[in-house]
Amino acid sequence: MSQIQGTTVLITGGASGIGKLMGELCLQEGAKRLIIWDIDREETTAFAKALLLQGYEVHTYFTDVRNVEDIVKSASDIRQKFGGIDLLFNNAGVVVGKEFYQHTHSDIDFIMRINAEALMHVALEFIPGMIERKKGHIVNIASAAGLVATPRLSVYVASKHAVIGWSESLRLELEKISKDLHVTTVTPSYINTGMFEGVRSPVVPVLKPETAARKIIAGVKKNKIYVRLPRIVYLVPFLKGLLPQRWMDTIIGKWFGFHKSMDAFKGREK
């Protein structure tokens, strides 16, 4: 079991949504310090101030994870000040909900850089220190969309497919080095944080952020390889391996309603 008590925790996209909630939970579990990376200065500052008033140790970095130089600079500062981190939540993510042919090249770069490439660049900065200490835990927030094709989410789906494949490979590599090096991949369905405002999910419930955050933290403490939310998502890999694709299209797309889930998508205003 991974102990959160006494650890240094870094959460990307940690000023809002489940990132914010996971940060609070880690501190309540006894984390020594919380490091927040986010580009929203207003939300980050307000959140950090509230935590500091409660007596917690919190440090903020206005790090743009699209920019490798920004990642390297912030990571270097963290290593100099704190000697590295123990627990990394690769949480920052974005979504652009439209048909693939409606995307611009900039849309594609924007989604892939934040949702897939950034996770690798951030992890690369901190993994050597974890290997040296032979201890550490990386939590990669992917998505059930990385398991199921969904119209109007093609590039988002591609980015989450990439995260799942990379995260699983990374886990195998680190496990060869030490039994105390862990990687957890999280594949939630839609979470009601505003990011997916307007989605419709008639069968699989839209998750409450508080529920998702608590289940992720519980999974991390148990060193789970995967945390899938809700539980029905655990069936998806099994069904994909068992059923013909057209059957999957019918079950996931028509019966579960996923193929129309993005029809009324609005997303965040900001």
pLDDT (tens digit, 9 = 90+) per residue, 7-27? 999 999 999 999 999 999 999
Domain segments of the chain: what residues? 8-260
Q: Do the beta carbons of residue 65 and residue 118 sit within 8 Å?
A: yes
Structure confidence at residue 68 (pLDDT): 98
CATH of 8-260, one of 3.90.870.20, 3.40.50.720, 3.30.420.140, 3.40.50.2000: 3.40.50.720
Q: Do the beta carbons of residue 90 and residue 119 sit within 8 Å?
A: yes
Residue range 260-267: mean pLDDT, rounded = 82
Between CA 268 and CA 127 the distance in angstroms is 33
Q: How far is CA 269 from CA 49, 106, 194, 198, 265, in A?
A: 25, 19, 9, 12, 12
Structure confidence at residue 206 (pLDDT): 86
Nearest to 265 by CA among 188, 201, 186: 201
Confidence of residue 102 (pLDDT cuts 50, 70, 90): very high
Between CA 152 and CA 259 the distance in angstroms is 9
Amino acid 255 reads W
Structure confidence at residue 143 (pLDDT): 96
Burial degree of 111 (CB within 10 A; 0-12, 13-18, 19+)? buried
Pick 2 or 125 by higher pLDDT. Answer: 125
Confidence of residue 232 (pLDDT cuts 50, 70, 90): confident
pLDDT in tens, 158-214: 999 999 999 999 999 999 999 999 999 999 999 999 888 888 887 788 899 999 999
pLDDT in tens, 41-78: 999 999 999 999 999 999 999 999 999 999 999 999 99
- What token pair was written down for 194? 């505003």
pLDDT over 70 at 269, yes or no: no
Active site residues: 156
Structure confidence at residue 194 (pLDDT): 82
DSSP letter at 15 equals: T
pLDDT in tens, 136-160: 999 999 999 999 999 999 999 999 9
What b/e sequence results for 54-83 when a residue is b if at least 16 CB atoms lie within 10 Å of its CB, and e otherwise? eebebbbbebbbbebebbeebbeebeeeee
Residue range 94-116: mean pLDDT, rounded = 97
Q: Quick one: CA dihedral 232, 9, 125, 191, positive or negative?
A: positive
Between CA 101 and CA 212 the distance in angstroms is 32
Between CA 100 and CA 114 the distance in angstroms is 18
Helices (runs of H) and strands (runs of E) counted in the chain: 9, 7
Structure confidence at residue 131 (pLDDT): 98
Confidence of residue 250 (pLDDT cuts 50, 70, 90): very high
Between CA 74 and CA 122 the distance in angstroms is 10
Confidence of residue 1 (pLDDT cuts 50, 70, 90): low
Provide the phi-psi class of 257: left if phi over 0, else alpha when psi is between -120 and 50, else beta. left
Structure confidence at residue 270 (pLDDT): 53
